[in-house]
Amino acid sequence: MSIKEIIEAGKTAIGIEFGSTRIKAVMVSETGAVIAQGGYGWENRYENGIWTYSLDEIWKGLRAAYSELAENVEKEYGCELTTTGAIGFSAMMHGYMAFDDKDELLVPFRTWRNTITEKAAAELTEEFGFNIPQRWSIAHLYQAILNKEEHVKDIAFFTTLAGYIHWQLGGGKVLGIGDASGMFPIDSRTRDYNKEYIEKYDALSAKYGFTKKLGDILPKVLAAGENAGFLSAEGAAKLDISGKLKAGIPLCPPEGDAGTGMVATNSVAVRTGNVSAGTSVFAMVVMEHALKAVHEEIDVVTTPVGDDVAMVHCNNCTSDINAWANLFKEFAGAIGTEVDTNKLYTTLFNAALKGDNDCGGLMGFNYFSGEPVSGFDEGRPVFFRKPDAVFNLANFMRLQLYSAVSTLKLGMDILLKEENVKVDRLFGHGGYFKTPEVGQRIMSAATGGPITVMETAGEGGAWGMAVLALYMNHAGDMSLSEFLNEKIFAGQEGNTVTASEEEIKGFEEFMEGFRAAMPVEKAAIEAI
């Protein structure tokens, strides 16, 4: 069949993911090959002390990304996009979207980036004996209860961004197990919320007058491959303003960006892992056994099928790199030289490989927002150096790339060295790895092992979501790992880079200075 015939027959799948800076839509064939794409750029806003996106912007972005996808289909293949085999929605995990019994949003969407739930997270972690990070949905709910916020009494349902979109388009109040594991702890044996912790939570919140049972207001948990409803007529009209998209398309369970990252890098099997490095950075390893201790630096979430995953999540990664790159581009423009953005980043990243392994005495923090892994509720980007430091472009850019993953290394050292978690393959994806070799080499120096980037890694989470949508047709015959290995990644090896012993030692030396310099970041927050 031609691609046009494949599209018209609905032998495709669509994945749409809400990233922190871009909403991306991807259509794939039954083999996972990309047929068409669409996108929309957006940014979170800091309003009244909350990092948020408005509902208007959410829907505007969704429609724009889908519209561009549909336009590309018509332009490239000469046919209208009216149907597809399945659709899946994914988004940034965690956060807080609470609704009343009339399905009205009670307070502005609180994203994962907010670090305003310290007391709640600490109390729940102690009560459960299980780490509850500040960004988790249950921490936001409990903090609102502790704060005696007016809206709490009216809560009838709360969910994540992906769960909200899926629900509004006809799929019901459900959530993929990976995304659900960032709302409330999952019991990997039952593939559902941990009942013991729910009982503890209900007893704890009742002391503050919260009468709703948690099980009644959480979304239902579904594993990858299960049917999660169908696109309604109203949902089709919301998604496609042209009115061409037909209702009745199967919807797969909505997932979080961690789960789609695992799929996009083929790291859903035990002892595999991935590092997603963009606006935020997180590393995930599918574990053979439970952690021996509770660590505030490490989350335990799940794969899209419910296996336990150790996750080190850091709020800050490439934002400071982007800020400095824009400064260099502005300077180039000021002297009459226009620089292509791709060339700019490639030049700066490649310069970093020529720097000293310890950055030559340069030091900095890339904290635009709080960073719970290192104990900061707020952030200030800071760059400083010793008077005798080797201050050149190579060391400066190496510092920027080191700084972007230094906090991640704090958590990974606990996971790999203290907990002795084993990982056979660690895959990288995200903008940090876009320039060949550079990001891989530095991430390898940070983690102490090889980093592999697959050809498909650049497709990102929207592609991973489309693959999860495809999996619904195969779930009865094979596991998700088998499906990925046999149907999607067959024959793909990827490009692997391993840092030298000198590079690994240099990063360790840099980290000694990074840990010692934390009072500088603290002082910057207090003074500015």
SS (H, E, C) 310-362: EEEEECCCCHHHHHHHHHHHHHHHHCCCCCCHHHHHHHHHHHHCCCCCCHHHE
Average pLDDT, the chain: 95
User: For position 296, what pLDDT does the model report?
Assistant: 87
User: For position 227, what pLDDT does the model report?
Assistant: 94
User: For position 457, what pLDDT does the model report?
Assistant: 58
Give the residue-averaged pLDDT of 381-407.
97
**Are 180 and 193 spatial neighbours (Cβ–Cβ below 8 Å)?**
yes
* Cβ neighbours, 10 Å, residue 365: 27
Q: At 425, is the pLDDT very low, low, confident or very high (cuts 50, 70, 90)?
A: confident
Task: Identify the DSSP state of 80.
Answer: -
Question: Which neighbouring-strand residues pair with 50?
Answer: 47
> Mind listing the pLDDT tens digit for each residue in 20-30?
889 999 999 99
C-alpha pair distances (Å), 49 with each of 38, 369, 378, 396, 527: 32, 12, 11, 32, 19
Q: At 456, is the pLDDT very low, low, confident or very high (cuts 50, 70, 90)?
A: low
**Are 427 and 272 spatial neighbours (Cβ–Cβ below 8 Å)?**
yes
Q: At 524, is the pLDDT very low, low, confident or very high (cuts 50, 70, 90)?
A: very high
Task: Identify the DSSP state of 202.
Answer: H
User: For position 429, what pLDDT does the model report?
Assistant: 84
> Mind listing the pLDDT tens digit for each residue in 228-264?
999 999 999 999 999 999 999 999 999 999 899 899 8
Give the residue-averaged pLDDT of 113-125.
94
Give the residue-averaged pLDDT of 4-20.
96
User: For position 279, what pLDDT does the model report?
Assistant: 87
Q: At 69, is the pLDDT very low, low, confident or very high (cuts 50, 70, 90)?
A: very high
> Mind listing the pLDDT tens digit for each residue in 471-518?
999 999 999 999 999 999 988 878 999 999 999 999 999 999 999 999
- Tell me phi and psi for residue 178, to 5 degrees: -65, -45
Contacts for 452 with CB less than 8 Å, ≥ 6 apart: 425, 426, 427, 428, 440, 494, 495, 496, 497
Cα 527 to Cα 382: distance, rounded to the nearest angstrom: 12
Only one residue has tokens 């660590």, namely: 295
User: For position 115, what pLDDT does the model report?
Assistant: 86
Cα 387 to Cα 257: distance, rounded to the nearest angstrom: 42
**Are 391 and 355 spatial neighbours (Cβ–Cβ below 8 Å)?**
no
Where does residue 63 fall: left (phi above 0), alpha (psi -120 to 50 degrees), or beta otherwise? alpha
Residue 459 has pLDDT above 80, yes or no: no
Closest by Cα among 379, 374, 395, 317 to 516: 374
Cα 24 to Cα 13: distance, rounded to the nearest angstrom: 14
Tell me the angle at which helices 393-413 and 501-516 cross, rounded to the nearest 10 degrees: 80
Cα 430 to Cα 442: distance, rounded to the nearest angstrom: 14
Residue 162 has pLDDT above 90, yes or no: yes
Cα 249 to Cα 260: distance, rounded to the nearest angstrom: 20
User: For position 455, what pLDDT does the model report?
Assistant: 74
User: For position 458, what pLDDT does the model report?
Assistant: 58
Domains in the chain (CATH in brackets) are 1-91+231-241+251-265+454-497 (3.30.420.40), 319-404+501-527 (no CATH)
User: For position 1, what pLDDT does the model report?
Assistant: 84
Give the residue-averaged pLDDT of 101-114.
96
> Mind listing the pLDDT tens digit for each residue in 505-518?
999 999 999 999 99
Give the residue-averaged pLDDT of 73-98.
97
Q: At 190, is the pLDDT very low, low, confident or very high (cuts 50, 70, 90)?
A: very high
User: For position 493, what pLDDT does the model report?
Assistant: 77
> Mind listing the pLDDT tens digit for each residue in 366-375?
999 999 899 9
Residue 170 has pLDDT above 90, yes or no: yes
